Amino acid sequence: MTLEQLDKKYGLQTYNRNYTNFVKGEGSILFAENGDEYIDFASGIAVNSVGHNNPVLVSALQEQVAKIIHISNLQIIEPQAKLAEQICTLANYDGAIFFANSGAEANEGAIKIARKYGETKFDKKRYKVITLEHSFHGRTITTVKATGQESFHTPNFSPYPDGFSYVSNLDAVYESIDDETVAVMIELVQGEGGVQPFEKEKIQKLANFLKEKDVLLIVDEVQTGIYRTGKILASNVYEIEPDIITMAKGLGGGVPIGAVMTKHKDVLVAGDHGSTFGGNYLSTRAGLAVLEVLSEMDKSGKLIETLAYFTVKLKEVGDKYSNLFTEEVGLGLMRGLRAKNNEIMKAVLSNCMEKRLIVLPAGKNTVRFLPSLTITADEIDEGFKRFEEAISSI
Ligand SMILES: *Cc1c(COP(=O)(O)O)cnc(C)c1O
């Protein structure tokens, strides 16, 4: 059987897959089995933060797997403790971290912390969590309910947990808070919803208001985190100090990991939460290697340089093809071109694949770019050359 036949027979068909068989990656270049070379402007979905086959990540993992991959969380795990310290230090955040295995799981942890805070810190129980329209928070039953898109709440998976509601924009959060509201959960740049950043002043105003009301601010940095928007966390870019922050995608450089960080260190106690795999040697050693590479790029100014170069090239092509795109959106290396409509977005995506360039969709009509943060100027040039070849015929 071909790979496609195998997948269609034995894999549950939850994805609309492309069947190019990639066998190797190097930096931001992917090699297909037939020898074709692709430029990778997606890095998984913001996952391969330090590129493919990154020597620092690879040697850290090779060294680690030959020693020990896993013991239980009933033992101290050296790279886990060190990774927690690194994240808190680099983000300048006085908090503590629980490690999970994915973004959705990190968000589940955040919701559990908020719920227990609401149960134990007030005379009258608070449990409601407000989220935003066009948000995305994950695929578990609770995190789909937290996701502010009606299409995710199909009756197929009902009933959903109580206590979640979403509002259409930041301004609407204020009036929707009541005496049972425990937390507001937001992304600072909505990723899946269309690469839409919020205004810094609006976010800061909301953060201050919530602090006054003793309502927790949960920031879902599963996509924006780990230098994606120019600093280790988008919360640092926005200069806010949320009560709870979740991370995942870019943290392990491709090894599954999720993290929930909070300044409310005393809320969860032994027995309240746990994970078999969360924070094991493999994933946290990967996290340490990723942070080593990216914090060095940040300090040397290389990250800002890459970000600025990508931005210029994207703006050039966006302006030139104003017949296809209405605006350029995003922050840092989380970028998008808003296509005039869904058909144009689809045509751009399929033409790019033909020209051997990987880009992603977001929302209804956004072409999304999430390159590795270590992408070189040559790779950026080649990618945009292919992008123009792909779209000039539309
Ligand atoms: C991807 C994503 C998630 C879900 O992460 P998984 O690892 O797929 O569970 C949650 N929130 C945001 C903002 C994301 O981008």
Question: Is 341 found in the same domain as 271?
Answer: no
Q: What is the mean pLDDT of residues 190-214?
A: 97
Q: How does residue 11 score in pLDDT terms, banded at 50, 70 and 90?
A: very high
For 77-99, b where at least 16 C-beta lie within 10 A, e where not — what string? bebbeebbebbbebbebebbbbb
Atom of ligand 1 nearest to the CA of 105: 9
Question: Is 320 found in the same domain as 282?
Answer: no
Q: How does residue 152 score in pLDDT terms, banded at 50, 70 and 90?
A: very high
Question: Is 307 found in the same domain as 246?
Answer: no
Question: Is 332 found in the same domain as 283?
Answer: no
Ligand 1 centroid to residue 161 C-alpha, Å: 19
- Contact present, 321 and 4 (Cβ < 8 Å): no
CATH of the domain at 153: 3.40.640.10
Residue ranges around ligand 1 (CB below 6 Å) = 102-104, 107, 136-138, 187, 191-192, 220, 222-223, 248-249
Query: For residue 26, what pLDDT is reported?
Result: 98
Q: Which of 253, 274, 299 is a domain's end point? A: 299
- Please give the sequence-ordered ranges of beta strands (E in DSSP) within the chain, or none if there are none: 22-26, 29-32, 37-40, 96-100, 128-132, 164-167, 181-186, 189-190, 196-197, 216-220, 244-247, 258-262, 325-331, 334-339, 357-358, 360-362, 366-369
Question: Is 116 found in the same domain as 71?
Answer: yes
Ligand 1 centroid to residue 392 C-alpha, Å: 33
Quote the CA–CA distance of 177 and 166 in Å, as a whole number.
11
Query: For residue 225, what pLDDT is reported?
Result: 98
For 161-176, b where at least 16 C-beta lie within 10 A, e where not — what string? eebbebbeebeebeee
Instruction: Domain of residue 355: give its range.
Output: 3-54+301-391
Q: How does residue 254 score in pLDDT terms, banded at 50, 70 and 90?
A: very high
Q: How does residue 30 score in pLDDT terms, banded at 50, 70 and 90?
A: very high
Q: What is the mean pLDDT of residues 90-98?
A: 98
Structure tokens at 156: 């197929």
Count of residues making up the chain: 394
Atom of ligand 1 nearest to the CA of 139: 9
The DSSP bridge pattern shows strands 244-247 and 216-220 to be parallel
- Contact present, 274 and 305 (Cβ < 8 Å): no
Question: Is 110 found in the same domain as 15?
Answer: no
Ligand 1 centroid to residue 66 C-alpha, Å: 30
Per-residue model confidence as pLDDT tens digits over 309-320 = 999 999 999 999
What values do phi and psi take at 217, rounded to 5?
-105, 115
Q: What is the mean pLDDT of residues 147-175?
A: 96
Q: How does residue 50 score in pLDDT terms, banded at 50, 70 and 90?
A: very high
- For residue 159, whether the previous peptide bond is cis, meaning omega lies within 30 degrees of 0, is yes
Q: What is the mean pLDDT of residues 175-202?
A: 97
Ligand 1 centroid to residue 104 C-alpha, Å: 6
Query: For residue 139, what pLDDT is reported?
Result: 97
Question: Is 294 found in the same domain as 309?
Answer: no
Helix (H), strand (E) at residue 59: helix 55-67
Atom of ligand 1 nearest to the CA of 106: 9
Q: How does residue 149 score in pLDDT terms, banded at 50, 70 and 90?
A: very high
Pocket test for ligand 1, best of 107, 186, 187, 249 (most atoms within 8 A of CB): 249
Pocket test for ligand 1, best of 43, 47, 131, 192 (most atoms within 8 A of CB): 192
Q: What is the mean pLDDT of residues 73-96?
A: 98
Q: Which of 299, 327, 359 is a domain's end point? A: 299
Question: Is 126 found in the same domain as 224?
Answer: yes
Atom 10, ligand 1: residue with shortest CA distance: 137
Q: How does residue 43 score in pLDDT terms, banded at 50, 70 and 90?
A: very high
The percent of residues above 70 in pLDDT, for the chain, comes to 100
Question: Is 127 found in the same domain as 77?
Answer: yes
Token look-up 């969590």 returns: 129
Closest CA to 164 of 377, 367, 152, 274: 152
Q: How does residue 358 score in pLDDT terms, banded at 50, 70 and 90?
A: very high
Q: How does residue 189 score in pLDDT terms, banded at 50, 70 and 90?
A: very high
Question: Is 351 found in the same domain as 285?
Answer: no
Atom of ligand 1 nearest to the CA of 220: 13
Question: Is 63 found in the same domain as 208?
Answer: yes
The percent of residues above 90 in pLDDT, for the chain, comes to 100
The angle, 0 to 180 degrees and rounded to 10, between the axes of the packed helices 302-320 and 377-391 is 10
Atom 11, ligand 1: residue with shortest CA distance: 137
Q: Which of 256, 273, 299 is a domain's end point? A: 299
Mean residue pLDDT of the chain comes to 97
Q: What is the mean pLDDT of residues 182-202?
A: 97
Q: What is the mean pLDDT of residues 286-303?
A: 98
Closest CA to 224 of 256, 184, 259, 190: 190
Query: Domain count of the chain?
Result: 2
CATH of the domain at 21: 3.90.1150.10
Atom of ligand 1 nearest to the CA of 45: 1
Question: Is 70 found in the same domain as 195?
Answer: yes
